[in-house]
Amino acid sequence: MSISKTHAGFGNWLQSRWQTVVSGIPFFWLLLFFLAPFFIVLKISLAESIIASPPFTRLLDWSGGGLPTLKVSIDNFAYMWEDSLYVRTYLSSLKIAFVSTVLCLLIGYPMAYAIVKAEGTTRYILLLLIILPFWTSFLLRVYAWMGLLADQGTLNSFLIWIGVIEKPIRLLYSQFAVYVGIVYTYLPFMILPLYANMEKLDISLQEAAADLGAKPVAGFFTVTLPLTLPGIIAGSLLVFIPATGEFVIPDLLGGGNVLMIGRVLYSEFNANHDWPVASAVAIALVIVLVVPMMLYHKVQAAEALRES
């Protein structure tokens, strides 16, 4: 009797707290494995590098006995600021990500528009063809370009064969190769949000513009473009933010010739074992990207609100 009573009691408690249970489990996971790591990175970025294991000083020093002394050092950030290599790398990463985003938009926008204009099964197949590379290995798609761009690769052989060039030109391990790689791998991330946005576009609005005397080009700039702006923003941020911190593409296609912050972070950590500087690089990258990230979050929330 009493057992079943407590049982019912627990059951009732669970039922009345179902919202806490449902939201609490994933919340706890994310706090532990997503948010907490950031504070650890922040903490280490404020420590000093030493040769030991772990290779950094403690912020709270208990060695003096009694009250610990707090040791916060912004040396790592100062070092980054003074060494022009880091500043140049950040700027170079932002530039590469920005140009790639614009290129993705220029290629992706007409493609998304063409897919929306297609009908029935054709549209479905085209969409599947956009999504398909998204499911296949990212690494292997980058690798495919290594074969295409190599000195004796397909593109050079083709250009020599048609007589445009006489001997191979440097394509791989250049900035050009990095642009190609980023545009190539991130293009679906541009097209899919654009498609989702354009699909909802009311065609009668474009007809109304034509009816009121707007020629196709004027109609595009006054009606279609402003109305697809949320899709443009979402797609651009989905390309821009991860591209800024990209590591694999500059490493494989850019060789040592292209400065990108993701590579610097990786080598600072794995090759130089300088954890505090690597952490400071990461924190600085998050600070650089926090504005576009919040913008993306806002666009998504606005879109969700519009749908409900």
66-95: contacts with another protein (CB under 8 A):
none
Smallest gap from residue 25 Cβ to another protein (A): 5
Residues numbered 229 to 248 that lie near another protein (CB under 8 A) are: 237-238, 241-242, 244-248
Range 280-299, binding another protein (CB under 8 A): 282, 285-286, 289, 293, 296-297
The interface with another protein within residues 125-154 (CB under 8 A) comprises 126, 128-133, 135-141, 143-148, 150, 152-154
Under the binding rule (CB under 8 A), the answer on residue 258 touching another protein is: no
Number of residues that bind another protein (CB under 8 A): 109
**Looking at 9, 54, 81, 87, which residue binds another protein (CB under 8 A)?**
54
Residues 103-122, interacting with another protein (CB under 8 A): 107-108, 110-111, 113-115, 117, 121
| Pick 169 or 286: Cβ nearer another protein | 286
CB of 250 to another protein, least distance (A): 11
For the residues of the chain, what is the DSSP string, one character each?
-HHHHHHHHHHHHHHHTHHHHHHHHHHHHHIIIIIHHHHHHHHHHTS-B-SSSSSB--SEE-TTSSSPEE----HHHHHHHHSHHHHHHHHHHHHHHHHHHHHHHHHHHHHHHHHHHS-HHHHHHHHHHHHHHHHS-HHHHHHHHHHHHSTTSHHHHHHHHTTS-SS----SSSHHHHHHHHHHHHHHHHHHHHHHHHHTS-HHHHHHHHHTT--HHHHIIIIIHHHTHHHHHHHHHHHHHHHHT--HHHHHHSTTSS--HHHHHHHHHHTS--HHHHHHHHHHHHHHHHHHHHHHHHHHHHHHHHH-
| 99: contact with another protein by CB under 8 A | no
Residue closer to another protein by CB (options 96, 187) is 187
Contact between 184 and another protein (CB under 8 A)? yes
Q: Is residue 41 close enough to count as binding another protein by CB under 8 A?
A: yes
